[in-house]
Chain A
């Protein structure tokens, strides 16, 4: 089938734009149908953090997150995109409240899915209590939306990864798509090293960081269902694929998740490194996984990797 001519150029631009390098706004512009984004409380409203000035830190007019409504292949979606280049995409009071409000509306409507483009180091330390509580409110709002039938899809491939409470929110989503640089974890490499020593985790060992927290490991482990190449078009296609796959949420999902996670501990709990887990999963040349190009990795993951579908 031939795409209408007007759609060709945006798709090509999306294909040639690195999700990792792009800003939150560029990601949304290229992810959604061209020109469809309507932002809520955009930078023109200047709703900045009321707390950063206590620390003489610069504010940003959107507090580092874009929330709004758009269309994906013609269908309505709510979107939220964190800007990892502003305070590491961290959750503060205003930043978090925007996402909470979006999720509460989605819950009331019940049929419009939510895409969350994570790019976050976790709680914004300068407003740590407000940020932590915002994350708790978002987690509850995600689960209430899902219980009302809303699909909440997380897309992870930004500079700041998805750390701290961001990792917990991601764990609440209906499904995740992740790219290789899209790290998902609670404690960051530096935090583990600072607290437990370089023997526990050498944060400067980038290969160790990628294979412990990076997208390939999360895909093989079943934490993410779809692996995307690092471009916006791939994330768009991943979002569409996941929207088609996600089923309704209920108690059976939580029971299945309990079994899935307990099974993971039984199977891999004694593994010392991601390479050991991949080998145990049946990958003959696990050492080669970090070097595999995206298409070969996706083929491998589809053959061997686990999924969390119906069990999260």
Chain B
């Protein structure tokens, strides 16, 4: 599936390779602009070894290239292991997010493309660290899967599924994350991905984080934007 997605995104050719679950490379847009490409494939868990290669790929490109950056995501959650935690996985995941955020706010707009699964720390370090997160139909993001939630909340799966119908706030799924403002848009599988990517690039939102306003507009997060704004105002007054 990844090969088809990349072919549809970059009909003019690309140098994107997949190695041990990590996607690295670049591609030429029809406008001639080079786009840096990276990501996680094959539902691979994002651990220290994967994260350091991804952040290195972005840092190597800074100062050398000038185009936008695409982050493709089909991952598991963060790698859950003694070794990864022992080595400071939180720092590696944060570092990857920081590098992406820095690039985005310094002239290298970042776009996340969620085409498979992702969850928890892996999603924070990749798709949620980009300026615009796009979902493809069939993508299955899940901060927490329902069986695990059932265990923690001590509610039955049936009860959770019933509650999920009335609120997007906890249940997995692309449309729920879109309502929250986390996923900006969902592309169509029927149209050329290259067309949709180029349309996005010519009309890119500003770098300022507006996901809370988006979540409010879509009815998924009614309080976040207002609370943040009120605290900001109070903090600016106290000086």
Residues of A bordering B, CB below 8 Å:
38, 40-41, 47, 50-51, 54-55, 67, 69, 76, 78, 93-94, 96-98, 100-102, 104-106, 108-109, 112, 123, 125-137, 139-141, 143-144, 147, 164-165, 167-172, 184-187, 191-192, 195-196, 200-201, 212-213, 217-218, 221, 223, 251, 254-255, 257-258, 261-262, 264-265, 268-269, 271-274, 277, 308, 312
Contacts and interface: CB of A to CB of B under 8 A. Distances in A.
Given A140-B129, A187-B121, 9 more contacts: A54-B169, A97-B228, A101-B231, A109-B239, A125-B144, A129-B182, A139-B124, A171-B93, A192-B82
Contacts of B2: none
Contact of A101 (B90, B99, B228): B228
Interface of B: 48-49, 52, 55-56, 59, 62, 78, 80-95, 97-99, 101-102, 105-106, 120-121, 123-125, 128-129, 143-144, 149, 152-153, 155, 163, 166-171, 176-177, 180-182, 209, 211-212, 215, 220-236, 238-239
B95 A261 contact: yes
Nearest to B171: A129
Contacts of B82: 192, 200-201, 212
Given A137-B212, A141-B209, A265 B80 contact: no
Contacts of A258: 52, 55-56, 59, 95, 99
Contacts of A112: 239
A172 B98 contact: yes
B103 to A, nearest CB: 9
Contacts of B225: 97
A107 B60 CA distance: 28
Given A100-B212, A105-B235, A130 B224 contact: yes
Contacts, number: 271
A108 B87 contact: no
17 contacts: A67-B231, A93-B227, A97-B226, A100-B212, A104-B228, A109-B239, A129-B170, A130-B224, A136-B129, A139-B98, A140-B129, A143-B101, A165-B120, A171-B90, A172-B97, A261-B92, A269-B87
